[in-house]
Amino acid sequence: MSTLNTLTIKEAHTKLCEKEISAVELTQSCLDRIQKTNDQLNSFLTVTAEEALAQAEDADKNIAENKVGPLTGIPLAIKDAILVAGSKNTCGSKILENYVAAYDATVIRKLKEAGAVIIGKTNLDEFAMGSSTENSAFGVVKNPWDLERVPGGSSGGSAAAVCADQCLGALGSDTGGSIRQPASLCGIVGLKCTYGRVSRYGLAALASSFDQIGPFGKTVTDAAWIFSAIAGHDEKDSTSFIEATPDLTNLIPQIKGKKIGIPEECFIKGLNPKVKKLVGEAVDTLEKLGAKIDEVSLPNLSYSLPAYYIIMPAEASSNLARYDGIRYGRAAEVETKTLIENYLKNKAEGFGDEPKRRIMLGTYTLSSGYYDAYYTKAQKVRTKIIEDFKKAFAEFDLLITPTVPDVAFKIGEKADDPLAMYLNDILTVSANVAGVPALSLPCGFVDDLPVGLQMIGNYYQEETILETALAYELATDWNSKKPKF
């Protein structure tokens, strides 16, 4: 069986340009890998083999004419909350199990224009609500490093697929850490862009003021190449940033002289001491490479998680109201007599426990008498957190933290304790609350399980994060290690 699926995007691009391999061969290698391993991982919900091979044939025609971009002929996976025309878009929920997308999300249109091959749709926590990809209506995703452990969430299917070489890269969405957290637990690179840097048009909304689409890659360069393809202004997204995005396909490692802050509030009680040690060693490496390291305080950071879990369910309850089983979503099989009864039956049967929990929390937060006490106050706290980050970035180029307090936990370990599950987001949600970009990349292993290093940058400074991350990646070999799966 071909091992072309183990290539990075950059390696595959070089071989395609030199015509050592074809896009069809590369795509078929990924399809073979999915067929061989997906029963174990459950990372893909839909595999679009016929369409992918047709796209690969088109890519080969362009390559023959020397019309080759960075992503031409590169097989990519897409989180099943991002619309791909003609493909199912379930959002990991029974309520959308038969929904077929009528149009492409903007990021998909851009990937197709870049010549990428869309190989299929990946599993996720239902409506992106979760930190473990155990909440999918279509089964749990397994971590390739240990099939008894979670891959993180909510974009766990995309992260597991990249980690297991089922594809060369993938898209996920990040509302409170849903790209960075699974990237950390699966030992790959995941980038959450600045809010507004990538169009949300065609992404099923969870919490509209937090959601961002972003890339997974085997390397920093791979993530940068995908980011360069999908970023940019979009008139269909009113929150889209209007200025042009720099081309990062020729990323240069740069770290010397950069000022890096270490937020004392991120080295929290409950942080695995072995994770803390690895992050400390990564900081030492950055200092040896020429960075200037100092401590910084973000005094309101501890309020990020509670503020997030007030605002996010409020927005989610509004966004999920559209799935009523009449215009959107499957209808209940039981006959009803009134419209209200119909709504209740449809939602009760269609939504899983986690969406129901967040809808109830959000509806309560927005209800009369509680709006000012909870939602308004949380928004004020959000403003304070944004001010903390702005103050920090007036002095520092980057902030460094662990991505997740611990390594991947066992499947089912936290299933009965929603609060324990929510605490997995404690180090990632602040970047979403503030809207700043952040990246996770591997920085070591604890008990043969990967650990992620989080780099947080100033608004629209993805380039600064990526060039620093590339310098660190080149100075270490963590990303070269692969699971024995």
- Which residue numbers are catalytic? 79, 154, 178
Residues 6+ apart with CB under 8 A from 54: none
Residue type, 458: N
Residue 448 carries which side chain, given as an amino acid letter?
D
Residues 205, 185: Cα–Cα separation, whole Å: 24
Looking at this protein, which amino acid is placed at residue 335? E
What's the rounded Cα separation, in Å, for the pair 87 and 81? 11
Q: Give me 321's structure tokens.
A: 């109201």
> HEC states along 333-349?
CCCCCCHHHHHHHHHHH
CA distance to 144, 361, 406, per residue, from 415 (Å): 20, 18, 17
Hey, what long-range contacts does 69-72 have (CB within 8 A, 24 or more apart)? 69/114, 69/115, 70/9, 70/13, 70/114, 70/225, 70/228, 70/229, 70/249, 71/9, 71/13, 71/111, 71/114, 71/115, 71/116, 71/225, 71/226, 71/229, 72/13, 72/16, 72/23, 72/114, 72/115, 72/116
Is residue 133 within 8 Å of residue 157, measured between CB atoms? yes
Q: Identify the three-state secondary structure at position 280.
A: helix
253, two tokens: 């490692």
Tell me the CA distances in angstroms from 245 to 60, 259, 399, 440, one per residue in order.
28, 23, 22, 21
Q: How far apart are CA 172 and CA 155, in angstroms?
A: 5
Amino acid at 107: V
